Structure 1
Amino acid sequence: MSSTDLVPASGAQAVQTVARTDDRQFLTFRIGEEEYGLDILRVQEIRSYEAPTRVANAPMFVKGVVNLRGVIVPILDLRIRLGQPSEYNAFTVVIVLNVAGRVVGIVVDSVSDVLALSAEEIKPRPEVPAAMDARFITGLGKIGDRMLILLDIEAMIKSPDFGLVD
């Protein structure tokens, strides 16, 4: 950014194009009709879906493992875990996360974009019964007409339901 990027033109107010320091960035993705967000700092990479090697006696949402540059990565189908139908197509992706000292992949329907949300745009989680345990929801992000369910992916992965972390 040059010094002229912030100079007002003919008395107009300067417009700053960089994100505010209080903004948090979220990777947004879809599962069914819902849009979710997770902390971008947890994301290592996004990969197209490839069938993993199945692990015997694993829960249905654990699709198996893949070898990612020498690291064995468990692949969890977040759609199955959240009780949604699981259909694999060209948009299905794996979000590779670095969570709780582990590398884990989660299968989602599609990835949308990265959004910066200010504290004012993040609302507290609702106190209503949900298909998903509310302890894994940090809040709701609201941008215009869009509503994002913001996940605490670390708490989810660490939960005994997943069985990945001691």
Structure 2
Amino acid sequence: MIDTIGTDIPEGEERLRLDVEDGLGVLTLCRPRKLNAWSWESTRQLGLFADRIRFDGSIRAVLLRAEGRAFCAGIDVTAPGGAITGRSGAERTHHYYEGLRWAHERFRAFARLPQPVVAAVQGYCLGFGFELALMADVRIAADDAVFALPEAGLGVAVDAG
């Protein structure tokens, strides 16, 4: 299960990186070998960085970008922490709901930053990656950017962006 309370990012577990220079916060998705696929840990780190950005008076604007050939290929279905546990169907449903609520609190913290956020999108921007880009105030797409919501074809709600 993911640590929902800790504020540390263990070395080697970085999903995002924040660099600040001359009033610009550059938030970088940094898992290029996984096409920056999103996980529960990515969500936790997004919330941590959203809080840091919000309360850092030196950051006047944010650039959201990604390393590698994809902005974000969507949810990492192989990532740990995604199993829904519980002794009964009702308990599993409750845990699923609480997990989504926890994640959405972090998404809202990022989407509601007082600083303007610009997403620079290259390559695949799929599923949750598309929703993450939609959380930005402005999106700039490279010539090779591909936007899609494949989960909609499966009847799964698009609910983060």
TM-score by length of structure 1 reads 0.25
Question: Could you say which structure has the higher helix fraction?
Answer: 2
Question: Could you say which structure has the higher strand fraction?
Answer: 1
